[in-house]
């Protein structure tokens, strides 16, 4: 009887595995290289005196393009945000999605999903180390770096109890310190979005984490000012 149960359990596991592969043909593509590989190949060569700006990040980054596409229209802005991603995943695909497409500057907005535990337990130091590595790779290839503060979040709806309201300000202080030492530009989004309790001002967010169009519009002049400084 026990042997039959073991065999039945194994059969169920095998079928679940086959079903998972059927749903995701690249189950081992942890960094999700496939998300942009074809788009990267189709990018045109940049004209002289033009700069390609790459946005590296998570759902907040790709949400910018989806929520306010006009901000990206007719500009040399390349959005390479992937929902749910953490800094180690971004680091793995950084060369493919930033260096290899000849970026002149990269805007990195990352870290909140790490704190939420999307890819497992992590320390703030580990997050900063991944940001350091991305910065060093960029600078070694002549790419200007804008390191953005992590946006305020009082809690995560999908992962409650992680205390982002406490951890994010500490992380931002660490990012700012590294930016100063490395020569990267630190762009402080946290200050203009903070509701006073280290959460996002309600009118700027739909769920306390992701931004509304109004929230993105608050960031846009700050970003353009930062780009003007690093590229001139």
pLDDT at 47 (0 to 100): 75
Distance of CA 103 to the CA centre of its chain: 16
pLDDT at 11: 43
* Alpha carbons 33 and 30: distance in angstroms, whole number: 8
pLDDT in tens, 166-212: 999 999 999 999 999 999 999 999 999 999 999 999 999 999 999 99
pTM for this structure? 0.87
Pair type for strands 185-187 and 77-81: unpaired
In the chain, what are the domain boundaries? Answer: 32-231
pLDDT attached to residue 5: 45
Which stretches of the chain score pLDDT less than 50?
5-6, 8-25
Can you spell out the DSSP letters for 51-112? Answer: --EEEEESHHHHHHHHH-GGGTTTS-EEEEE-TT--HHHHHHHHIIIIITTT-SEEEEE--H
Helices (H), 117-187: 124-140, 164-182
Rounded distance, CA 127 to CA 116, Å? Answer: 12
> What is the chain's mean pLDDT, rounded?
90
- What integer pLDDT is reported at residue 17 of this predicted model? 40
Q: What is the CATH number of domain 32-231?
A: 3.40.50.1110
Residues 6+ apart with CB under 8 A from 187: 107, 146, 147, 148, 149, 222, 223, 226
């Amino acid at each position: 009887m026990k042997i039959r149960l073991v065999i039945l359990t194994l059969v169920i596991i095998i079928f679940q595995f086959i079903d998972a592969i059927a749903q995701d043909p690249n189950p081992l593509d942890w960094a999700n290289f496939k998300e942009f590989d074809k788009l990267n190949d189709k990018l045109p060569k940049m004209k002289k005196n033009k700069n390609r700006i790459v946005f590296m990040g998570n759902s907040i980054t790709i949400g910018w393009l989806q929520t306010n596409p006009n901000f990206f229209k007719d500009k040399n802005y390349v959005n390479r945000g992937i929902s749910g991603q953490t800094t180690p995943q971004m680091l793995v695909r950084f060369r493919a999605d930033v260096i290899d497409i000849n970026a002149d500057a990269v805007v990195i907005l990352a870290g909140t999903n790490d704190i939420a535990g999307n890819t497992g337990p992590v320390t703030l130091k580990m997050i900063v180390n991944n940001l350091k590595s991305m910065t060093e790779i960029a600078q070694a290839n002549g790419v200007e770096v804008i390191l953005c503060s992590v946006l305020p979040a009082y809690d995560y709806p999908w992962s409650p109890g992680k205390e982002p309201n406490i951890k994010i300000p500490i992380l931002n202080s660490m990012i700012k310190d590294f930016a100063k030492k490395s020569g990267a530009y630190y762009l402080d989004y946290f200050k203009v979005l903070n509701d006073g309790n280290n959460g996002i001002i309600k009118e700027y967010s739909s769920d306390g984490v992701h931004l509304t169009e109004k929230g993105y519009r608050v960031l846009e002049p700050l970003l353009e000012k930062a780009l003007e400084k690093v590229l001139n």
